[in-house]
Structure formats: structure tokens, C-alpha cells
A and B are shown apart, each in its own frame.
Chain A
């Protein structure tokens, strides 16, 4: 059973519907107690970093998520804001993040971008596996050569160890579209809005058995 965390940061029903279309059992979880028994966790969300963290805290989800993810090694997929919250901190706010991945969230660096490019980065973008990095093998088939995904974001992850940035996309420069550390994955794009390509990602997540646990 996959737990989808609903913490008041955006419409999560597309994620739920896509899992349903894939016949993957899922349940909406709104507080720490409901998380018990989850075999996998999806942390979706859109919006402001501090708002997201405050909402997780207000619902008692932070200690419960920590126990599940770092204590029991339950696989977790963060999507969009959810992928940013797994980092240590963000340029967008003051609050510390969940800190499961050695990465920070930074604003798009306009100085490195052509004047024709806009922030937020919004739209479909080709997304590829960074050569030589450790994308869990369960996800290999989810990222074929023509893979493209839908993005809406003004900030992106920046990993301390570039090998953690397992997926890349380009918006003025190459940025981390996906990060992996142990049983935690973060994806900046929206699989639930990326039709077939997104389905492959969610299917791979449902089949993934992490080799290592994030500590």
C-alpha cells in the first residue's frame, strides 16, 4: 500500500488517480498516526517551502515520516515541492527541510540563463539519467531516451555530491531533475501530469526495493 501525504500543499488527486489507473493500492494520509502500515510513501505538493514544512509539522507528520524513512527504510518519493522538502534547506524560506538528502534548494540562477528563458520553468522538458550516477536499477526502464516530463518550478535541488543528482534536465543550464539517496528519491517534475512517462515512473516506484537505507 502506498501512502500519499496530504498536507494542504496543492491538489494531490492526480497522483491518486494515476495510481488508481495503474491498479496500485494507495491511501491518503493526513497525519502521523495514519502513516502506520505504509509500505511506500509519496510526498507530493506545490507551493512555498516554508508553508510546506509548517504544514507537515502542524500535522505531526515530521517525526512519523522520519521514523518511517530513516528508521524503517520505507521507500519515499518526493514530487516537486515534496522533492525539495527532503533537502536540508531552501533559498525560498527559513525553515530547515527534512534533510534526508545532502542537497540544498536554490533559485534558478538567471545569470547563467539566456534572457529568453523564464522563471518559473514551466512546461515539458526532456529528462535523462546522468551517466555514471546511481539511479536505482528499478527505474532504468522509466527513463527511455525520449523521456519528457512536465515541470513547474522556480527553485531546484543542488546536491553536495553531484552523483546524487541522478536525473538531469536543462533550463538555461543542466539542473538536478531527480535526486537519490538510499531509500529516498526526489523528482522535480510532475509524473502525474506526464501521461505515459509519468506512469512508468510510478510503476517503477511501486516495484522498487532499495538496497540501502538513508540515515
Chain B
């Protein structure tokens, strides 16, 4: 079981936090955040450039390399990875996993190519999910603009078959809200794939982590706001639950 802080960076290389993929709050310097997590026994970090995919701008390779070098734990990177060349560049920067999302708008070919070259373990598909006005969940990539055909469960099965070794389910509706993960969505997706599913978007506490595992069938949980703010509506304090608290409230109850 893994608990993964998720760091979002913007086109200027700043650490930001979003709410429902919209309003952003500037948090600070991502390198500083990594240094803080370095002192907290974090087993893995996720780094996403939320502007690289949509604006089509080239990922900030220097920054990715700096973050990978600074992190004393494995790092997964996503954002703007739309070709094999760009994935190769990210791997050369020293990240252990590559996260593909916008590329899924073109189908699953890139997932296949990446898995063939770097192994499934290195390839993560991130499915951003938003409910339509009819309440139907849809996978929407490119900052929520493009809906992929099929249900989230079907898409999860498809990317798994193509070679994704892990699937991050990122709820756009819950992003930055502290309302808890969308457990129903997680459950449907985890039943549709053999790959480990990582819950992301909405965590407000350790209890939410536990429910993502016991009710959502997830293998790992990721969170942004929860690690970055002291509490909902309060100031920035990059934190991570102490190991004894994680064990008591989370690991021992699943």
C-alpha cells in the first residue's frame, strides 16, 4: 500500500494546487516541496505539469531532472508526454515512471510503445474523470476538454490491455474539495482492470485513504491538497502523516 503526494506544476515551473482543475493557488517552489517530502519517508512522488499537455508546450526538462535528482524516492512524471521521444527524454531526466494522459486522446498506441520499450511497470495511465450534466462519469483528457469514448471502466480495461502497469483515477469533480474520493467510480474501475488503481482527487483525511482501499479496491492513494494545506481553508503546510499514524489509522484497518 502506497500513499503518494501529488505535486502539480504550471507552465512557469511553479508548484500550484487546483480546485476541480480550475482555480489555482500558487503554493511555492517545487524543489522546496520535494526537500520537505524527503524528510518524511514518502515512498513515491507524482509530479504533473498541468500546462504541458494542454498548451502543447514542451515539458520543462531541466526542472524534471532537478526534481528527480532532488527526490530521495522514485518519481512518476506526467504532462506533455505525447511521443516516444518525449518519454525517452523524461526517462533520461531520471524519473522512474511516466504518466500518460493527454496522449490517450489519440488512442492507446503510445501506451503500447512505451510498455514495449520501458516495461509496464514504468507506464502509468492517468484517467481524469468528470461527471456529465446527466451525472454520467466520463474520462476527459487535455484539461477536461476532450471526452474519450466509452465508460471509465472500459477505458481502464483498454489501457491495461495496451500495457499500462498502473492507473491513476483522477476525479476532476473532487479535485481540491476535501470531499473524499469518488468510491463508486474507483470500485467500477478497479473491477475492470488487473492493474493497480491509484485514487486521486478529493482526499480530506486518512479515513478517505482507507475507504479508497477497502471500498474502492485501490492499491494506492494519491493526494495533493491533503499534503499541502494544514486543513481545508487554511494556510500552506506541506505535511505527510507520520508513519505511526498511517499505520494505526490506515494500514492496520484494511
Contacts and interface: CB of A to CB of B under 8 A. Distances in A.
Interface residues of B, number: 21
Contact of B69 (A17, A120, A152, A196): A17
B73 to A, nearest CB: 5
Nearest to A10: B94
A192 B120 CA distance: 23
A91 B41 CA distance: 35
Interface string B103-125: 00000000000000001111000
Contacts of B122: 122
Contact of A14 (B41, B42, B94): B94
Nearest to A192: B72
How many A residues touch the partner, as a band?
Answer: 20 to 34
Contact of B119 (A18, A21, A122, A196): A122
B38 A21 contact: yes
A193 B74 contact: yes
Contact of A195 (B41, B70, B119): B41
Given A10-B94, A120-B121, A123-B121, A194 B65 contact: no
A124 interface: yes
Interface string A175-206: 00000000000000000111110110000000
B73 A193 contact: yes
B72 A21 contact: yes
Contacts of B68: 11, 13-14
B46 to A, nearest CB: 15
Nearest to B38: A195
Nearest to A11: B94
Interface in A16-51: 16-18, 21
Given A16-B69, A120-B119, 12 more contacts: A10-B94, A11-B69, A11-B93, A14-B72, A17-B70, A21-B72, A123-B121, A150-B96, A152-B121, A195-B41, A195-B43, A196-B41
Interface of A: 10-11, 13-14, 16-18, 21, 118-120, 122-124, 150, 152, 192-196, 198-199
